[in-house]
Amino acid sequence: MILASLRRKLSANVAGGLATALIAGSFVASVLLFMGFDPTSGGRTVKLLDWIDVGGMQIPLALRIDALSLTMMLIVTGIGSLIHLYSIGYMHDDERAPTFFAQLNLFSFAMLMLVMGSNFLITFIGWEGVGLCSYLLIGFWYKTPEYNYAARKAFVMNRIGDVGVVLAMVLLFQRFGTLEYASIMDMASGVNDPLLIAATLFLFIGATGKSAQIPLFTWLPDAMAGPTPVSALIHAATMVTAGIFLTVRSSVLFELAPFTKDIILWIGTATALLAASIGLFQNDIKKVLAYSTVSQLGYMFVALGLGSYSAAMFHVTTHAFFKALLFLGAGSVIHALGGEQDIRKMGGLKGHIKITYFTFLVGTAAIAGLPLLSGFFSKDLILAFAFQRSPVIFGLLLFGALLTTFYMFRLLFLVFYGTYRGKAHPHESPLTMTIPLMVLAVLSVVGGLLNLPHLFGGHEPMKHYLETAAAGIGYEHLELSALTEIILMGITTTLVGFVIYVAYGRFVKTTTLEGEEATMPVFKRLIAQRWRIDELYRALFEKPYAWLSTNLLAVAEKKVMVPLMNGVGDAAIRVGDVVRRVQTGNASFHLLAMLCGLILFLVITLMSN
> Could you tell me the pLDDT band of residue 6, with boundaries at 50, 70 and 90?
very low
Q: How far apart are CA 256 and CA 249, in angstroms?
A: 14
In the predicted structure, residue 40 carries a pLDDT above the cut 50: yes
What are the tens digits of pLDDT across the range 61-73?
A: 889 999 999 999 9
What are the tens digits of pLDDT across the range 264-282?
A: 999 999 999 999 999 988 8
Q: How far apart are CA 332 and CA 228, in angstroms?
A: 9
Least confident of 139-143, 164-168, 465-469, 508-512: 508-512
> Could you tell me the pLDDT band of residue 237, with boundaries at 50, 70 and 90?
low
pLDDT the model gives residue 3? 46
pLDDT the model gives residue 487? 93
What are the tens digits of pLDDT across the range 179-202?
A: 999 888 888 888 888 999 999 999
> Could you tell me the pLDDT band of residue 44, with boundaries at 50, 70 and 90?
confident
How buried is 379 (Cβ within 10 angstroms: 0-12 exposed, 13-18 middle, 19+ buried)? Answer: buried
- Classify each residue of 209-230 as buried b or exposed e, where b means 16 or more C-beta atoms within 10 Å of its C-beta: bbbbbbebbbbbbbbbbbbbbb
The DSSP output letter for 140 is S
Percent of the chain topping pLDDT 90: 44
Return the H-helix or E-strand segment holding 61: strand 57-65
Residue 474: count other Cβ atoms within 10 Å of its Cβ.
13
- The CA-based angle 218-219-222, given to 5 degrees, is 100
Q: How far apart are CA 300 and CA 242, in angstroms?
A: 12
> Could you tell me the pLDDT band of residue 9, with boundaries at 50, 70 and 90?
low
Q: How far apart are CA 594 and CA 588, in angstroms?
A: 10
CA distances from 405 to 295, 320, 370 (A): 12, 18, 9
What are the tens digits of pLDDT across the range 484-527?
A: 999 999 999 999 999 999 999 888 877 777 666 667 778 888 88
How buried is 31 (Cβ within 10 angstroms: 0-12 exposed, 13-18 middle, 19+ buried)? Answer: middle
For the whole model, what pTM was predicted? 0.88
Torsion angle, alpha carbons of 279, 281, 285, 291, to 10: -20
Residue 448: count other Cβ atoms within 10 Å of its Cβ.
26
